Amino acid sequence: MKYVDEYRDADLGRALSGEILSLVEPGRHYKFMEVCGGHTHSIYKYGVDDLLPANVELVHGPGCPVCVIPMGRVDDGIALAHEEGVIFTCFGDMMRVPGSEGSLLEANAAGADIRMVYSPLDALRIAKQNPDREVVFFAIGFETTAPSTALTLKRARAEGVPNFSVMCSHVTIVPPLRALLESPDLRLDGFVGPGHVATVVGARPFEFIPADYGKPIVVAGFEPLDILHAITMILRQLNENRCEVENQYSRVVPYEGNQRALEVMAEVFELRPHFEWRGLGFISHSGLKLSEAYADLDAEKRFSVPGVRVADPKACQCGEVLKGVIKPWECKVFGTACTPERPIGTCMVSSEGACAAYYNYGRFAREREVV
Amino acid sequence: MTVVRVDDDRRLALCADETGARHTVETALVEPVSAGDRILVHAGTAIAALAPDQSDERTATA
């Protein structure tokens, strides 16, 4: 298939693997962070890490939309779902994220009307089909997903759907990256940049990484050869003493982003002063809320939302995993008390979560033998 | 996904994914699109269009 097969070619993969081997300096340990959960998923699905020399380590970053949602936010969603007459809609992954007293899936079993949707447009359709009910969409995700929510809100306004509202938990990628780069317990040599976020925001917003922190970043696609190619590009920058933003995924990422998407986001959203991230705590200007012009479609204004802050479970080390400080299998509950069927932490819930990626593709068994 | 049919008035397109399943997709961010175009869809919205002969070397301005 065009755009897929050519990026999964085994011979090309072996050639890139050999090229990476020729580019690394023996004795030096390289630590690169793949920012996006989609990359983490591809790396373990296709065994990309097995094609890397032992001294090239991939560290998993915070770019999994479901993984960064704190427990308190899930509790808020469940409270909203229990409101009289409400149909609560969300993406499938979000249904299984544990709150302090269970997940949305469990709330659904207990009688709340919670429905899985593939897009905010599906939620709007449910609202139109149920004019006597209030339909709330739980909007999560980075800049990749936010334009979809923004367009749906504009559509709801244009089509006059009064019973539709959004509980906005969208986040932005730059503030947590800056927080990670400021963190003293993480030493990184470079970044594999988030390809689909960059499709919307462009590669330009990542210029602060080389400019302020002296680290190279290569925006990359999600096929195995894309990731291997991005690693060769980072290594070349290091070997040539260059430090810049490069775009490996130019078949869909314009350097300046998608201007129409940026415009619609600017119209519909504004930055929250601060937003709580699972494991990372409060980060300034990292979350989005609906702008004043769309305040009437804001579920948090239409309904009473508890807004309580809940500490993560003590046993769960998602925070350290999201910061790349520990590997998933180093968590005390990985694969025992915490599994994809009964997750304790968010990283075990989503297919983009590092823990679920390790667990589902059986990578943890080998790692444990090494330990 | 591949565009199957376009509804210009509603700014929506019927699209088929690689398994042939049909989806309704917002096209406002990548217009104009026409049947046969390949688009990158996220959460029901097309966020990028792929030109048929697009390659990695091309500096994407589409």
What ipTM was assigned to the predicted interfaces of this complex? 0.86
pTM of the model: 0.91
Output the domain CATH number for residue B33: 2.30.30.140
Q: Does A260 touch chain B (CB under 8 A)?
A: yes
Count of domains forming chain A: 3
Sequential pLDDT tens for chain A (371 residues) = 566 777 888 899 999 999 999 999 999 999 999 999 999 999 999 999 999 999 999 998 888 888 889 999 999 999 999 999 999 999 999 999 999 989 999 999 999 999 999 999 999 999 999 999 999 999 999 999 999 999 999 999 999 999 999 999 999 999 999 998 998 877 899 999 999 999 999 999 999 999 999 999 999 999 999 999 999 999 999 999 999 999 999 999 999 999 999 999 999 999 999 999 988 889 999 999 999 999 999 999 999 998 888 888 888 888 888 888 888 989 999 999 999 988 888 889 888 889 999 898 875 555 544 44
The domain in which residue B26 lies consists of 2-50
Q: In 3-state terms, what secondary structure has residue A234?
A: helix
- B28–A264 CB contact, under 8 Å: yes
Query: Best of B14, B45, B54 to disrupt the A interface by mutation (most A CBs within 10 Å)?
Result: B45
In a domain, A368, yes or no: no
Nearest residue to A47 (alpha-carbon basis) of A362, A371, A369: A362
Two tokens, residue A168: 């906005």
On whether residue B17 sits in a domain, the answer given is yes
* A101 and A167 fall within a common domain: yes
User: Does B61 fall in a domain?
Assistant: no
Q: How far is B28 from chain A (nearest CA, A)?
A: 8
Are residues A345 and A295 part of one domain? no
Q: Is residue A96 helix, strand or coil?
A: coil
Q: Is residue B11 situated within a structural domain?
A: yes
Q: Do A40 and A128 reside in the same domain of the chain?
A: no
Domain containing residue A14: CATH number: 3.40.50.11750
Whether residue A276 sits in one domain with residue A142: yes
Which residues of chain B are within 8 Å of residue A252 when distances are taken between CB atoms?
40, 48, 50, 60
- Same domain flag for A118 and A144: yes
Domain-located, residue B20? yes
Q: Is the peptide bond before A205 cis (omega within 30 degrees of 0)?
A: no
Q: Is residue B55 part of a domain?
A: no
* Domain assignment of residue A54, yes or no: yes
Domains contained in chain B, number? 1
Q: Which residues of B touch A4 (CB under 8 A)?
A: 18
Residue A267 belongs to domain spanning: 71-173+257-302
| A240 and A297 assigned to the same domain | no
Q: What is the CATH number of the domain that holds A136?
A: 3.40.50.11740
Q: Within this chain, do residues A79 and A135 fall inside the same structural domain, yes or no?
A: yes
Query: Which of chain A's residues have a Cβ under 8 Å away from the Cβ of B32?
Result: none
Same domain? A162 vs A261: yes
Cβ–Cβ < 8 Å for B25, B37:
no
Q: Are A44 and A72 in contact (CB under 8 A)?
A: no
Domain annotation covers residue A21: yes
Would you give the DSSP letter of residue A371? -
Candidates B18, B44, B48; nearest CB to A118: B44
Looking at the structure, tell me whether residues A93 and A115 fall in a common domain: yes
Q: Which of A94, A116, A119 to mutate to test the interface with B (most CBs of B within 10 A)?
A: A119
Show which of residues 34-53 on chain B sit within 8 Å of chain A, judged by CB atoms: 38, 40, 42-45, 47-48, 50
